[in-house]
Structure formats: structure tokens, C-alpha cells
């Protein structure tokens, strides 16, 4: 037997729990992945079509069998339609999250959801201005309500443009307008995407993808941005905050409650409810020392960056947290929640609770979360966890000791306020650092985990390679958690891993070389950061001029596809680890990885080797530096090459 658990994950805490699963014959994602081999080649290449009932159809990649579906759809059409539907689904997920936050904002503003208040009034004024809402002499609540309604209206809007589009660089807005891909409404583009990919509608793969781009822009500059900005208004804008990460945050002598999923509407209330003295007293009555709340996936990121609540781990650690035998209760809302959780939870005393009407599991207790009674419901769920402590089997508790410090909570607004010093809230220092060559550029490394890549290995290897080469890295989602577990998100990581130029910046302003900017909807923060850099001047007139790149080295979800597209459409060179399921169509692959650059300024690349991918990003950054006629980078391999 090889060391399976070591092959499966780079993270030692995860290895221990994977080992435990193997020893106790508990099947987890990696086992299911192995059992699934070989995975369907047609699906992997994107050339099977299940869209109508004349099918399912498959294009023979060996060139002997059918080269078109029953309707005559070619591999180009089929692959493009499949990919476009993935964009639609990803955009729908992010945007529906945004819709929920807008809905909560309205309830809170109207006083119908007493457990919420509008904490981010500065952000409220800022966003109200973008939406053209009169703030003069108005109560905060009134502005909040109007803004919430204005945002909700954008979901069903049929023409015109989304308000946040106005925050993109002027040149970019003009390009989108010229190409006819400015999103008109968030839901509208998703619906049209579904229509266009219905049997017998859009058969031109380029035309299909162009609408896919429009749909994704409605996510990045629409639904996701609404989710981020309105969350900041409701729960307060994050500020840099110290916290802890990895399975070691679970405690042996406390009631462990894990919140897993994505939306902050539940988790933010839960973190408050967990402080309730009565519940803590109850926990003590059962022999626990207290209540320990930990997050998982992106809902973890939401409360991590706002309250410093520890994160127990990333997407592939959801089963592993239960495997510690120490989790009394895991409550979930929406997205990235494995159906397998219920069977893994059945192997332990862990209670699994679903809370969203959109996300139920067969045989799992459902306690529906309603904003109007948020605190009451949150307490009810926590109480169930506390009462479950007595069922914990002490002998079965095995919590890996791994735990790391990180700094989270960087945002568009605060990052360079912190960086600014005498410049105050300005991107000038960042731009200057890039212009002078102290920093080579910046990169966003984001996305999921996937058993088809050694867990966390690609994220960590890529980010280390980038910062070694003086590229400042911003991260969201599970990628941020992966690198936090490696210690890359703590300030002292700069001296260990960063190149000389980046180290100088980090030391001067006291930031880590890798900045955690939030959950996966918070990729919208990266869009705004890029726009601010352009606005600050000296680095071109558009996002596509910037010495920057993006990557999702371990991606798995449809949301990642949507994110990839809105970055590419915003002008960013974006690398995915494993390719999109399109490689069965040479034309479409070419369109995504070559032609798009001439159309929107950004393009995709597919590269599974994270080091190679990092160097493709660096090469791209250098190309952009050269085009801007910037000075050469100050240091290569830690050695000064400049003056």
C-alpha cells in the first residue's frame, strides 16, 4: 500500500483525517473519486449533449463515429452550449446569494428583521451614490431600504446597464458597450443563456460564448458585487483581523459548532448567538468549557474577516472536520455542501442541520432560517449542538494539532488605506511599487479544491512561486484557506517566502505577501481593486493593461467558471488548472485560449502544473510591464538587477 493519505493531500492535518477514514473504512470524497475512475471521456471533453430528447448525443473524438448530434450540432456547438450553461449556473448561484443579502438588507432597514442592523454606514453612503440614491437628510434605514430595492430591481431589469458597471474603467465600459456585452439585468442574462442553449437556438459557438461572457459580467459586476457590498453594509466592512485556521481550531473540551456554506446572513447571527451566556452556561452544565464556533468554506471566510471566527478548513475538509469526532453540530446553508455529509455524520455523533429552503438533504433535520427570527433560530440550532455534547464519544475524538495564524479582512477600501501611510486611502503606493519595479505585479489566486489535484498542493505551490518572484497575491475562498494553512497569510511569511521587492513592501506597511480579500463572491472586490489601480494612474487605461493575472488551480464548481469568465471579460489573463470541459472542440478551445485576448483583452490558459502556471502568469505580467514601458523589475531571484 502506498501512502494514500499523503498522496491525497498536501495539508498534514487533512492527511491525518484521511488516514483515519481509510483505517475506519469511512468513505470520503477521495474514495468516491477513485471509485469513479475512469471518468467519462465524453463529459471531460465536453462533447456529450443531453439538451433534448432526440439525444443523448455524443461526438466521437476518434473521428470514426458521429461528428454531429441528431440535430446536427457539431462538437463546437455542443461544447459551447455545455460551457455556457455552466456559466449560467455559476452566475445564478452567486447572484441568488446577492439577492438574499439584498432581501435581508430591506428587512433590516424596515425593522422587520430586528437581529440585523446596518453596521456599514460609510459603505452604505458610498454605494447609494453609485445607485444615484439621494442621501441628504435621510435616515440610514430609509437609504438602506431604497438601496436594497434598487439592487433587487437589477435582478429583473430588462434593459440599460447594471449600476456597478460604472465603476469599471471608462475604456472597459466602452469596450463592453461596443461588443454588446454590457449586462442589462442579472437574471435576464442567465435566462437568455438558458434560452440560447435550448435545442435549435444559438449554434455559433462564438456567439454562445459571447453571451456567456455577458452573463458572467452580470455575476461579477452584478450579483456577486451586490452580495459583497450589501454584506459590508449589513455586517460592516471587514478590517484586517488576526485569526486561526485548520482543523486544530476545533477544541477537545468545548462544544464544537461548525457553520458551513456561503451566505453571511445566517453565520453572522450565529457567531453572535454563540456568545449567549445562557447557552454557554448550558454547555458548562454538560461538562464542556464553552462553545467553540468554527467556519467552513466561504461562510467561514465571511465571519473570519468580520469577526475573526476561526476557519476549520476548506471545501475538501468538510468531511474531515466531522471525522475528528469532535463536531457536535454542523449547520449548512447553500453551495458546496457535499451530499455525503449526512452519511459521514452518521458515523459519528455529529448532528447535521440544513437551514435553507433551497438546500435540503434526505433524512437530515431541517430548521428553516428566517431573517425575521434570526437570533431565535440561531440559538435554537446552537442549543441542539450543546445538547449533543453528551453524545460525544471521548475515545473517538482525534483532532489534528495543526493550527496556523493568519490575517484576513483586506478589502478594496482598507487595503491601501493601510498601505497608504501618509498617502492615506490611496492606491498610489501600490502603483508606485509596480511602476518602480519593486513589485513585479499582482495576481489573484482563487477557487476551490478538487480531489483530481493533490489537495492544497497546487494553491500553495503556485502562490509561493508567485510571491518569490515579487508578485503580490490576493486570494479568496478555499484558495485563501489553503494558503493560510501553509502560513502564507501571516505577516512573517514575507521573510520566509517573498522575493526581496515584495518583502520590502510587506515590511514597510506590515502586510502579508498574500492578502485574504474574502469569500468567493468577494472576487468582486478584486475587480474593484483592479479598477482602482487603473484609476490611480500610471499603469495604463484599462484592466487589460495592468501587470496582473489570475488563476484557479484546483477549481471544481460552476461558480469558478463564471468567475473565470468575468475576469477574462474584464481583461485578466486567467489560468485554470484542469481545463474547462471543452477540449473536445479544438475551435472552442482556441477561442477561449487565444482569440478572446483580441476581443476582450483577457484570455484563458489551462495548465495543471502550478509552477509552470505561475511562470506563465509571470511571463504575462512581464509582457504587460514591457508594453507599459515600465522599468525592469528591481530584483530577480532576490538579487538586485536594477540601478
Partner 1 sequence: MTKKIYYDVNKCLACKSCEFACAIGHSSSKDLLSFIKNKEKTKPAVKVHFASNKNYPIACRSCIDHPCVSACIAAALSFDSKDGRVIYDKDRCVGCWMCVMVCPYGAIRPDQTAKIPIRCDFCEGEDEPRCVKACPTGAIFVEAEEEAKSR
Interface positions with partner 1 (CB under 8 A): 36, 38, 40-42, 44-45, 58, 61-64, 579, 583-584, 586
All three cell numbers of 485 = 494553512
Q: What angle do CA 252, 257, 263 make, to 5 degrees?
A: 145
Q: Phi then psi for 311, rounded to 5 degrees?
A: -105, 125
Residue placing its CB nearer to partner 1 in the complex, 548 or 579:
579
User: CB 30 → partner 1: shortest distance, Å?
Assistant: 18
Q: Phi then psi for 89, rounded to 5 degrees?
A: -65, -45
Question: CA-CA distance, 133 to 124, in Å (whole number)?
Answer: 10
Q: Across the strands, what pairs with 408?
A: 241
User: CB 56 → partner 1: shortest distance, Å?
Assistant: 10
User: CB 62 → partner 1: shortest distance, Å?
Assistant: 6
User: CB 31 → partner 1: shortest distance, Å?
Assistant: 15
Whether 478 and 314 have beta carbons less than 8 Å apart is answered as yes
Residue placing its CB nearer to partner 1 in the complex, 62 or 137:
62
Whether 267 and 274 have beta carbons less than 8 Å apart is answered as no
Strands 48-49 and 57-58: antiparallel
Give the max Cα distance, the chain: 73
User: CB 612 → partner 1: shortest distance, Å?
Assistant: 15
What does each C-alpha distance from 483 to 461, 462, 476, 490, 515 come to in angstroms?
A: 9, 10, 10, 10, 10
Residue placing its CB nearer to partner 1 in the complex, 40 or 153:
40
Residue 282 CB partners (closer than 8 Å, separation 6+): 383, 386, 387
Neighbours of 49 (CB within 10 A): 25
| DSSP letter, residue 40 | P
User: CB 574 → partner 1: shortest distance, Å?
Assistant: 18
User: CB 83 → partner 1: shortest distance, Å?
Assistant: 16
Which H, E and C letters describe 203-228, residue by residue? CCHHHHHHHHHHHHHHHHHHHHHHHH
Residue placing its CB nearer to partner 1 in the complex, 61 or 632:
61
Residue placing its CB nearer to partner 1 in the complex, 79 or 152:
79
User: CB 341 → partner 1: shortest distance, Å?
Assistant: 24
Strand order in the sheet with 291-296: 365-366, 351-354, 327-332, 255-261, 291-296, 311-313, 241-245, 404-408
What does each C-alpha distance from 11 to 31, 401, 457, 483, 513 come to in angstroms?
A: 17, 12, 8, 10, 20
What does each C-alpha distance from 6 to 31, 313, 322, 457 come to in angstroms?
A: 14, 17, 19, 11
Residue placing its CB nearer to partner 1 in the complex, 48 or 108:
48
User: CB 572 → partner 1: shortest distance, Å?
Assistant: 24
User: CB 58 → partner 1: shortest distance, Å?
Assistant: 7
Residue placing its CB nearer to partner 1 in the complex, 197 or 589:
589
Residue 376 CB partners (closer than 8 Å, separation 6+): none
User: CB 583 → partner 1: shortest distance, Å?
Assistant: 5
Residue placing its CB nearer to partner 1 in the complex, 391 or 452:
452
Question: CA-CA distance, 3 to 170, in Å (whole number)?
Answer: 54
Residue placing its CB nearer to partner 1 in the complex, 380 or 594:
594
All three cell numbers of 308 = 475573526
User: CB 205 → partner 1: shortest distance, Å?
Assistant: 17
| DSSP letter, residue 246 | S
User: CB 551 → partner 1: shortest distance, Å?
Assistant: 18
Residue placing its CB nearer to partner 1 in the complex, 40 or 611:
40
DSSP one-letter string for 542-565? SGGGSSEEEEETT--SHHHHHHHH
Return the closest-CA partner of residue 602 out of 623, 581, 584, 577. Answer: 623
Neighbours of 639 (CB within 10 A): 9
Residue placing its CB nearer to partner 1 in the complex, 299 or 589:
589
Half-sphere exposure of 524 (CA within 13 A, CB side): 27
User: CB 552 → partner 1: shortest distance, Å?
Assistant: 17
Nearest 10 degrees: CA dihedral of 280, 283, 285, 286?
Answer: 180
Residue placing its CB nearer to partner 1 in the complex, 42 or 635:
42
Amino acid at each position: 500500500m502506498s501512502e494514500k493519505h499523503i498522496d491525497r493531500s498536501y495539508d498534514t492535518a487533512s492527511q491525518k483525517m484521511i488516514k483515519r477514514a481509510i483505517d475506519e473504512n469511512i468513505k470520503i470524497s477521495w474514495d468516491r473519486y477513485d471509485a469513479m475512475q475512469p471518468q467519462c471521456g465524453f463529459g471531460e471533453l465536453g462533447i456529450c449533449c443531453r439538451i433534448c430528447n432526440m439525444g443523448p448525443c455524443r461526438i466521437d473524438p476518434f473521428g470514426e463515429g458521429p461528428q454531429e448530434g441528431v440535430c446536427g450540432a457539431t462538437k463546437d456547438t455542443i461544447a459551447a452550449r455545455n460551457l455556457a450553461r455552466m456559466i449560467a449556473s455559476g452566475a445564478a448561484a452567486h447572484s441568488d446569494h446577492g439577492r438574499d443579502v439584498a432581501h435581508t438588507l430591506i428587512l433590516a432597514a424596515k425593522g422587520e428583521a430586528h437581529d440585523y442592523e446596518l453596521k456599514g454606514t460609510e459603505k452604505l453612503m458610498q454605494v447609494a451614490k453609485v445607485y444615484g440614491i439621494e442621501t441628504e437628510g435621510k435616515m440610514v434605514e430609509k437609504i438602506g431600504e431604497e438601496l436594497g430595492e434598487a439592487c433587487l430591481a437589477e435582478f429583473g431589469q430588462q434593459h440599460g446597464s447594471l449600476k456597478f458597471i460604472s465603476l469599471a474603467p471608462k475604456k472597459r465600459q466602452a469596450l463592453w458597450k461596443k461588443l454588446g456585452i454590457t449586462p442589462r439585468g442579472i437574471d435576464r442574462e442567465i435566462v437568455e443563456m438558458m434560452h440560447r442553449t435550448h435545442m435549435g437556438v444559438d449554434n455559433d459557438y462564438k456567439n454562445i460564448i459571447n453571451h456567456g461572457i455577458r452573463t458572467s459580467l452580470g455575476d461579477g459586476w452584478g450579483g456577486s458585487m451586490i452580495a459583497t457590498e450589501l454584506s459590508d453594509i449589513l455586517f460592516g466592512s471587514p478590517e484586517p483581523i488576526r485569526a486561526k485556521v485548520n482543523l486544530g481550531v476545533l477544541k477537545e473540551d468545548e462544544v464544537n459548532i461548525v457553520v458551513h456554506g456561503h451566505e453571511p446572513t445566517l453565520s453572522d447571527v450565529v457567531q453572535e448567538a454563540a456568545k449567549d451566556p445562557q447557552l454557554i452556561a448550558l454547555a458548562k452544565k454538560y461538562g464542556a468549557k464553552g462553545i467553540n464556533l468554527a467556519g467552513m468554506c466561504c461562510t467561514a471566510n465571511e465571519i473570519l474577516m468580520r469577526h475573526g471566527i476561526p476557519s476549520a478548513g476548506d471545501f475538501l475538509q468538510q468531511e474531515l472536520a466531522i471525522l475528528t469526532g469532535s463536531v457536535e453540530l454542523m449547520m449548512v446553508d447553500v453551495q458546496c455542501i457535499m451530499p455525503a455529509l449526512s452519511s459521514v455524520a452518521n458515523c459519528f455523533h455529529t448532528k447535521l442541520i440544513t437551514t435553507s429552503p433551497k438546500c435540503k438533504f434526505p433524512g437530515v433535520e431541517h430548521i428553516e432560517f428566517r431573517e425575521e427570527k434570526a437570533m431565535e433560530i440561531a440559538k435554537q440550532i446552537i442549543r441542539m449542538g450543546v445538547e449533543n455534547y453528551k453524545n460525544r464519544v471521548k475515545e473517538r475524538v482525534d483532532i489534528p494539532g495543526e493550527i496556523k495564524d493568519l490575517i484576513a479582512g483586506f478589502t478594496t477600501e482598507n487595503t491601501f488605506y493601510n498601505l497608504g501611510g501618509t498617502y492615506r486611502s490611496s492606491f498610489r503606493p501600490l502603483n508606485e511599487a509596480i511602476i518602480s519595479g519593486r513589485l513585479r505585479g499582482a495576481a489573484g489566486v482563487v477557487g476551490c479544491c478538487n480531489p483530481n489535484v493533490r489537495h492544497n498542493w497546487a494553491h500553495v505551490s503556485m502562490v509561493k512561486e508567485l510571491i518569490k518572484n515579487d508578485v503580490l497575491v490576493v486570494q479568496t475562498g478555499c484558495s485563501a484557506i489553503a494558503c493560510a494553512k501553509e502560513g502564507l497569510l501571516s505577516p512573517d511569511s514575507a521573510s520566509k517566502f517573498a522575493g526581496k521587492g515584495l518583502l520590502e513592501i510587506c515590511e514597510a506597511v506590515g502586510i502579508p505577501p498574500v492578502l485574504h480579500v474574502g469569500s468567493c463572491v468577494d472576487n468582486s472586490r478584486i475587480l474593484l481593486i483592479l479598477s482602482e489601480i487603473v484609476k490611480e494612474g500610471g499603469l495604463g487605461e484599462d484592466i487589460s493593461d495592468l501587470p496582473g493575472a489570475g488563476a484557479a488551480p484546483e477549481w471544481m464548481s460552476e461558480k469558478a467558471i463564471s468567475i473565470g469568465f468575468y475576469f477574462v471579460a474584464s481583461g485578466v489573463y486567467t489560468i485554470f488548472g484542469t481545463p474547462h470541459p471543452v477540449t473536445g472542440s479544438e475551435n472552442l478551445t482556441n477561442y477561449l485560449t487565444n482569440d478572446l485576448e483580441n476581443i476582450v483583452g483577457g484570455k484563458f490558459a489551462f495548465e495543471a502544473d502550478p509552477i509552470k502556471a505561475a511562470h506563465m502568469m509571470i511571463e504575462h505580467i512581464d509582457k504587460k510591464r514591457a508594453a507599459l514601458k515600465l522599468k525592469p523589475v528591481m530584483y530577480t531571484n532576490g538579487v538586485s538587477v536594477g540601478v
